[in-house]
Amino acid sequence: MIRRAIVKDIKTIHKLLNHYGDQGLLLSRPLSELYDHLRDFFVLVENGQDEAILGVCALGICWEDLGEIRSLAVAETHQGKGLGAKLVRKCIEEAKSLGLSRVFVLTYEEAFFSGMGFRAVEKSSLPHKIWADCLKCSKFPECDETAMTLDL
């Protein structure tokens, strides 16, 4: 089941993102930022009493027509089951409902996003506003992620 994140989810989201952030696979986010952007996040939970979080993904609004799909992470024990794609589709659905005409990702998983209809673009084609998060990255300014967009 995919639902909006709630406050009690933040520490688990933080742990999941840091797990992949420590490997250099995505940008870790401080707890304070996760609380600030709580409404951007969706979580995929296992049905049951504790609703264990199996994955997370966020949709950030960058401009009047542009959103960013970010912080996509699925627990290692649940990868390869299509959960990441479900989370991305949920963010795309949300972007459409908000009236956005395009979403983008910065990713190392080009094949995954290509399979969902995204196409690689030059990073310079994206608005400068999106680079605020990049300043926090240890790889800045030598970013090796691929920028990809999807027209909605």
CATH code at 31?
3.40.630.30
How far is residue 109's CA from residue 95's CA, in Å, rounded to a whole number? 21
The closest alpha carbon to 56, from 22, 14, 24, 98, belongs to: 14
pLDDT band at 132 (very low <50, low <70, confident <90, very high): low
Cβ–Cβ < 8 Å for 93, 45: no
What counts of helices (H) and strands (E) characterise the chain? Answer: 4, 7
What would the pLDDT profile of 79-128 be if each residue is shown by its tens digit?
999 999 999 999 999 999 999 999 999 999 999 999 999 999 988 788 76
Return the exposure string of 30-43: e unless at least 16 CB atoms fall within 10 Å of the residue's CB, then b: eeeebeebbebbbb
Q: What stretches of the chain show up as alpha helix (H) in DSSP? A: 10-21, 31-36, 83-97, 110-114
**CB neighbours of residue 142 within 10 Å:** 7
Cβ–Cβ < 8 Å for 59, 102: no
Give the residue numbers spanning the domain of 61: 2-151
Q: How many domains does the chain have?
A: 1
Q: What is the pTM of this model?
A: 0.89
Return the exposure string of 53-62: e unless at least 16 CB atoms fall within 10 Å of the residue's CB, then b: bbbbbbbbeb
pLDDT band at 43 (very low <50, low <70, confident <90, very high): very high
